[in-house]
Structure 1
Amino acid sequence: MKKIILLLFSAILFQNACLADSGVSFVYINGSNNNDAKMRNWFLDGVQKLHPVMKRKFEKNKQIKKVFMDKEHYRINKEPVIFFWGDKSQRDLEFVHSQLDLTKAFSPTIAYEVRSVLASYLHDAIWVQKQHNMLPILDELNDVVKTEASKGNKTILYGYSAGSFITYEYMFNKLPYINLENLFNTINVSSNMRQFVKEHPLDNTCISALSKAEVGIVSQSGHLVFRNVDDSLEDSYLKLKEATKTACAPADSLKGVVNFASPLVLFYSDLADPEYELNYYNKLMMKYIIEKGLFFITVNYREDPLGFPSTRNLTIDEMEKLADIEIKDPKGFIYDNSSVWSKRPCFVAHTAYWSTKRTFSNAVVKAFANGYRLQYDKEFQEKVLKSNKKKIKYEML
């Protein structure tokens, strides 16, 4: 009897030890102009100073505890996870600067300096948007998320500046929000192919897996292009089971995204075009985020000239009407807080998030609390809606 009790006690201790090992990892992603050793060290130093403050603010906030830290085994990991991609664009940027040097002989000094600054800040943002540059970065980031998941950790992605492009593209390409039967009922395939999909059901998949299994690819023009020969499409469809495991984010691994100093809207303004085909998949992604209990937060300083609001703060009812989708059993939220005072001049505000770590951390926590309450605290929601109506009425005067 004693042996049985000891075995049971050992099993409980082992289970608790496993639970204690699980937690939440903050993954910090760099932005533009972080190519050389000096700027890389600036980014790494900023993360090391910011992370302890961000961790402490998250742990103290009652709303955050209520949402996903209410279990003893849920803790924020002490060490930040760094995802650095700046070195990948260094060779191309050096080429741009070598071409700029040719203009020194005939260009006014001020014009040359302005070109140099623009090249340093804008090059990476443009470079990383190109599909052949972005996709390998997303695969590497997915490996990081998988590694954390294998340790029992959830991940929260922090995308700084052009790093916000990577967090958005990661969610768009790697989250398994695509129901295959619904997809094949939507796209232009034969009735035989639709029947084949119905008879061979598979779990939800992601955009990256569709490409990996050679079912379809996202074209440069923003269209999802599919194979249209039934035999080859059937073979590719059956490859999706393995492709989903390797190419998509592990189930429930991503907890949320925090974008900051984000010019996402400036570089992805085509998302406002109703004729842009990928908007259909963006709606599915948004539905997935909210139904699966993820959060998508944007925080920008008012003085930051490159910090663009990502969205109006809408209730779920408003989202459903605007996007013409049905959201079932909502648990997550999307929220923008771009009205934060940094108390820094506009010409340094874009890089001030690291030095104003308490202000920034407070803004992230406030965005989380208000974003959650806007959807799930009816009293708070009514106050916000009334306030919005007053603002609209004032603006119409």
Structure 2
Amino acid sequence: MKKILGIILGLIILQNVCFAQTNVSFVYINGSNNNDAKMRNWYINGVGKLHPVMKKKFEKNKEIKKVFSDKPQYKINDNPVIFFWGDKSKKDLEFVQEQLDITKAFSPTIAYKVRSMLTAYLHDAIWVQKTHNMLPILDDLNETVKQEAEKGNKVVLYGYSAGTFITYEYLFNKLPYINPKDLFNVIDVSDDVKNFVKTHPIENTCISALSKARIGMVSDSGHLVLKQVEDNALEQNYLKLQEATQTACAPTDALSGVVNFASPLVLFYSDLADSDYELTYYNRLMLKYIIENGLFFITVNYREDPLGFPSSKNLTIAEMEKLANIKIENPKGFVYDNSSVWSKRSVLFAHTSYWSARKTFANAVVKAFSNGYRLQYDPKFQQKVLDNHKKKIKFEMI
């Protein structure tokens, strides 16, 4: 009898191993002009139509299977997760619209309509960039990611339009890419504090945890501003960093990657290209973390989308190391841009056509994933791309 029970138990365990799967949740983050009921429903309905198409395309791709799991089976959850922040800016937008209405009495009709259009499209994008508006949204998003992680799900963030600002800020503020010992060696603190940190090592942390532990925060100018306290108080705050990391940072291994689309990110964050901007230092660490921890960062834009800006050139890891002056060890992730997708939509409607042209968009995302992965980890494909780049440069020089 015991032998029979043992065989049955063994078969059950074997079945669970064979059919073990990684579940993945797609979290969709809205963009500008989604703060009234009509536009909110438009966004949610669009995601509802897009998600099944995206899920089907993802689950068939062999490169995606390699990244999500070393097992042949993984499953994207049937229901999309909607992270909606448009309602948070509604009160401020209503105030702007009230002021706009005052101008209706004395402005030319065309000027009034242009102001109205700019207000509708740009207000939320500007509003969400302000630190006091952005940080609570990032905390809410982190709670969503934690909830998915508690269910055993990995997460892919989809940022639409101004939602790309949130995905970028989430990675910047919530990923644990900061080594506290290294950080305290480069910031302006006393040797006593540096020695204290050296003798009390803790795990990697994130920008948000530094603020939560009352150590310091990153200012709008891109500098880490320390709390003005005595060394003893700074050391005590440092000891709180371990707990702050658990509550304020992204949960370990929960995030698989980011897909940004209809992205004006470069337009609004162009100061990151300034080599004197201190945030560039933290962005280098973030890039290193993304590549070394197997995350992906994809940007997909339609060619006809006037607000879709390429995020970067598609570089090999060796080129990234040289350009960013970093050393990437045991790379597993990648960054890739595919902003040359034909939507076959008018320039006027391309920015809102990612839902209606969903098959085209889903194909473009999967292609970006496949090409981005192969560019780094398929030597033949990489060489082919590099050769094409050389030919293009030679042609442009003629």
TM-score (norm 1): 0.96
CA distance in 2, matches of 1:89, 1:227: 30
Q: Distance in 2 between matches of 1:264 and 1:366?
A: 21
Q: In 2, are the aligned partners of 1:193 and 1:234 still within 8 Å (CA)?
A: yes
Q: Which ranges in structure 2 are unaligned for 5 or more consecutive residues?
A: none
Moved more, 384-393 or 323-332: 384-393
- Pairing 1:316–2:317 present: yes
> Does the aligned pair in 1 maintain the 2:156–2:255 contact within 8 Å?
yes
> Residue 23 of structure 1 contacts residue 73 of structure 1 at CA under 8 Å; is this kept in 2?
no
Q: Which moved more, 1:383-392 or 1:35-44?
A: 383-392
Distance 1:254 1:11 in 2: 30
- Equivalent in the alignment of 2:302: 301
Name the CA distance, whole Å, in 1 between partners of 2:70 and 2:123: 43
Alignment length (residue pairs): 396
What SS does the corresponding residue of 2:88 show, helix, strand or coil?
A: helix
Q: Which residue number in structure 1 is paired with residue 339 of structure 2?
A: 338
Q: Which residue of 1 aligns with 2:100?
A: 100
CA displacement 1:271-319 (0-9 Å, x = unmatched): 0000100110000000000000000000000000000000000000000
* Residue matched to 1:292: 293
The residue type equivalent to 2:156 in the other structure is: I
Q: Structure 1 residues 217, 7: closer, same or farther in 2, change over 3 A?
A: farther
- Output the CA distance in 2 between the equivalents of 1:29 and 1:13: 39
Distance 2:287 2:377 in 1: 17
AA matched with 1:132: H
Question: 1:97-118 deviations in whole A, cap 9, x for unaligned?
Answer: 1100001111011110010000
Displacement after TM superposition at 1:189 (Å): 1.2
Long gaps (5+) in structure 1:
none
Cα deviation for residue 11 of structure 1 reads 7.4
Match of 1:259 in 2: 260
Give the Cα separation in 1 of the matches to 2:111 and 2:242: 55
Task: Give the 3 Å change call, closer, same or farther, for CA 248–11 of structure 1 in structure 2.
Answer: farther
Give the drift of 1:74: 2.3
* Identity, % of aligned positions: 72
Query: What is the identity, as a one-letter code, of the residue corresponding to 2:23?
Result: G
The corresponding residue for 1:210 is 210
| Kept after mapping to 1: 8 A contact 2:65/2:72 | no
| Alpha-carbon distance in structure 1 between the residues aligned to 2:250 and 2:8 | 36
- Which residue pairs with 1:188 in the alignment? 188
Could you say which residue in structure 1 is the equivalent of 2:41?
41
CA distance in 1, matches of 2:311, 2:204: 27
- Kindly provide the amino acid, as one letter, of the partner of residue 199 in structure 2: E
Give the letter for the 1:155 counterpart.
V
Normalising to structure 2: TM-score of the pair? 0.96
Q: Name the SS of the counterpart of 1:322 in structure 2.
A: helix
Aligned to 1:139: 139
Residue equivalent to 1:357? 358
**What residue in structure 2 maps to residue 83 of structure 1?**
83
Q: Deviations over 1:124-165 (max 9, x none)?
A: 000000000000000000000000000110000000000000
Per-residue CA deviation, residues 339-374 of structure 1 (Å, 9 max, x unaligned), is 000000101000000100000000000000000111
Does the 8 A contact of 1:69 with 1:75 survive in 2?
A: no
Query: Structure 1 residues 17, 238: CA separation in 2 closer, same or farther (over 3 Å shift)?
Result: farther
Distance 1:18 1:224, change over 3 A: farther
